Amino acid sequence: MAAPSTTSAGLPPALADATRDETSLRRFLHGLPGVDQVGVEQRAAGLATRSIKKASKLWAIDTAISMVDLTTLEGADTAGKVRSLCAKARRPDPERPEVPKVAAVCVYPDMVAIAVKETAGTGVGVASVATAFPSGRSSMRVKLADTEQAVADGATEIDMVIDRGAFLSGHYGRVFDEIATIKQACGGAHLKVILETGELVTYDNVRRASWLAMLAGGDFIKTSTGKVSPAATLPVTHVMLQAVRDWHDTTGDRIGVKPAGGIRNTKDAIRYLVAVHEVAGPEWLDNTLFRFGASSLLNDLLMQRRTQLEGHYSGPDYVTVD
């Protein structure tokens, strides 16, 4: 493991100690309290029974819209596809200009330049996936080049993937170093660290990976690439929200959380916001600290928004395809 980077400079001594070498890191991560699967799933299910209606529902819908990272990550992506995505990001509901813009668009590195052009001056961010997304199976040289390309083209956010193989075989130091290196290459862009929770499988692993990512300097921890099932789930996000809460209690800093993949409708989105509210805290109910990685979610949010305002159920003809 490389010498601690500047990211550990601001850490309280106990945490800085943990990043001294791989052995210390391992001891620290394995010393975190375990997560009981049944218990956390029950708590997540219990929170999901909250009934959010009327003004609080409308607020939640608008907030959720402002938290969407509108995403296209397909092999078949083209300039045309990215353009129409950006048009939607700028103006989600053409008939209702008061609808908030989404937080960002999320694309592959070679689409960043187009996205930056199409979102210029709108305040909508451009997030790029990087580091041999989605598998992360390539050399550090390639992963760094990936990132540098996106940053050079103007990406304001980088969504990297961790090396799950390294994590699962216990090489926490390697995972740490990769994150720290990519963070440096980000420059002014903020770094989201994708844990790929579906491959980590256990909640204990998710907790450890969350702490690892935060120790290494991530600005956001993100559940999934969306290319592996299961992607985001309420209990997994719950564990990550608890981790950022604990991190704040220890360091005073706030790290963001982004569930991605599998969040299809407004009901789901509101359940996530309730979890954010009650597990991390109301401060996280802001798109600087919480995002939804989604594509079809936006249209459901727009339809539900119309339903709340118009008083009748809406339909897919009243929202635009990307």
Partner 1 sequence: MWEYAPAPESRAIANLKPSYRMFVDGEFVDGGGEPLKTINPATEEVLAEVATADKNDVDRAVKAARRAYDRVWGKMPGAERAKYLYRIARMIAERSRELAVLESLDNGKPIKESRDVDVPTASAHFFYHAGWADKLGYAGLGPNPRPLGVAGQVIPWNFPLLMAAWKIAPALACGNTVVLKPAETTPLTALVLADIIAQAELPPGVVNILPGAGDVGAELTNHAGVDKVAFTGSTDVGKLIQRSLAGSGKKLTLELGGKAANVVFDDAPLDQAVEGIVNGIFFNQGHVCCAGSRLLVAESVADELLAKLHARISTLRIGDPLDKNTDVGAINSKEQLTRITELVASGEQEGAEKWVSPCPLPDKGFFFAPTVFAGVSQAMRIAREEIFGPVLSVLTFRTPDEAVAKANNTPYGLSAGIWTDKGSRILWMANKLRAGVVWANTFNRFDPTAPFGGYQESGFGREGGRAGLEAYLDV
Binding mask 190-229 for partner 1 (x = CB under 8 A): ----------------------------------------
Closest separation between CB of residue 34 and partner 1, Å? 5
Q: Is 14 a residue that touches partner 1 (CB under 8 A)?
A: no
Nearer of residues 42 and 169 to partner 1, judged by Cβ: 42
**Is residue 183 flagged as an active site residue?**
no
Q: How far apart are CA 313 and CA 273, in angstroms?
A: 23
Q: By CB under 8 A, which span of 8-16, 35-43, 72-80, 226-234 interacts with partner 1?
A: 35-43
Residue 239: alpha-carbon gap to chain centroid? 14
Q: How far is the CB of 209 from partner 1 (least distance, A)?
A: 16
Query: In this structure, how many other beta carbons lie within 10 angstroms of the beta carbon of residue 43?
Result: 18
If the CB atoms of residues 147 and 308 are measured against partner 1, the closer one turns out to be 308
- Which amino acid, 322? D
Residue 37: its H or E element: helix 37-47
x/- letters, 244..283, toward partner 1 (CB under 8 A): -----x-----------------------x---xx---x-
Min separation Cβ 64 and partner 1, Å: 12
Applying CB under 8 A, among 34, 94, 170, 316 the residue interacting with partner 1 is 34
How many C-alpha atoms does 27 have within 13 Å on its Cβ side?
Answer: 10
Site for partner 1 in 52-71 (CB under 8 A): 52-57, 59-60, 63
User: 218-236 burial string, b = 16+ CB within 10 Å, else e?
Assistant: bbbbbbbbbeeeebbbbbb
- At 106, which helix (H) or strand (E)? strand 104-107
- Alpha-carbon dihedral 294, 299, 300, 306, rounded to 10 degrees: 140
Minimum Å gap between C-beta 38 and partner 1 is 7
In sequence order, the β-bridge partners of residue 258 are 222
Q: Residue from 18, 25, 29, 35 that binds partner 1 (CB under 8 A)?
A: 35
Q: Which two tokens stand for residue 15?
A: 């945490």
Task: Choose, by CB under 8 A, the member of 3, 13, 51, 188 that binds partner 1.
Answer: 51
Q: Which helix (H) or strand (E) holds 292?
A: strand 292-294
Whichever of 34 and 170 has its CB closer to partner 1, that residue is: 34
For the record, the structure tokens of 9 come out as: 């400079």
Residue count of the chain, please give it.
322
Asked about 258 being catalytic, the answer comes back as yes
Count of positions on this chain that bind partner 1 (CB under 8 A): 28
Active site residue 88: no
How far is the C-alpha of 264 from the C-alpha of 309, rounded, in Å?
A: 21
Among the listed ranges 40-48, 131-139, 229-237, 311-319, the one in contact with partner 1 (CB under 8 A) is 40-48
In the list 3, 9, 14, 33, the residue contacting partner 1 (rule: CB under 8 A) is 33
**Catalytic option among 159, 163, 177, 268:** 159
Pairing of strands 157-161, 190-194: parallel
Q: Which residues are catalytic?
A: 159, 222, 258
